[in-house]
Amino acid sequence: MDKILARVIFTGLSILGGIALARINLIWGILYIAASVAGALLMAIRWFCPFCPYPAQYMDCLIFPTALTRHFSQYESAKGKKPNAGITFAVIGLLILIPQYWLIQVLPLFLAFWILTIIMVLRAALFLCTRCRYIRCPLNKAGIG
């Protein structure tokens, strides 16, 4: 259920942001959704997921389909490398901030977007990060590895 909820929230945020932009210009809406998917894939392939032990050691992934992360990224943490959390969090921040101007113009979209964002942040901070085995993640609060 955790994985499904994470994927639904990400998809919902992307679609809501895309709808807000598409109301003004369909191309911008499509580009926003494409950028969301591209950002997620780059995060999964290069910046963050290659350093997470879940796909490599536990055959699991809390965010993306495990097959995706195992297919596109190789486990790098064992080689002593560290994740580029700054880029990952910058991309997530941009995906949240970019559609705000257009979302605020349609209150139901704005509220839905922020409800999903708050659920995502609280879920990560109070649930996922407190039991995660990804010890190199800057948000890890579990203290286990």
Residue range 80-123, pLDDT digits in tens: 666 677 777 888 888 899 999 999 999 999 999 999 999 988 88
Q: Which residues have CB under 8 Å from 35's CB, separation 6+?
A: 95
Q: Of 49-63, 84-98, 120-134, which has the strongest mean pLDDT?
A: 84-98
Residue 78 has pLDDT above 60, yes or no: no
pLDDT of residue 89: 81
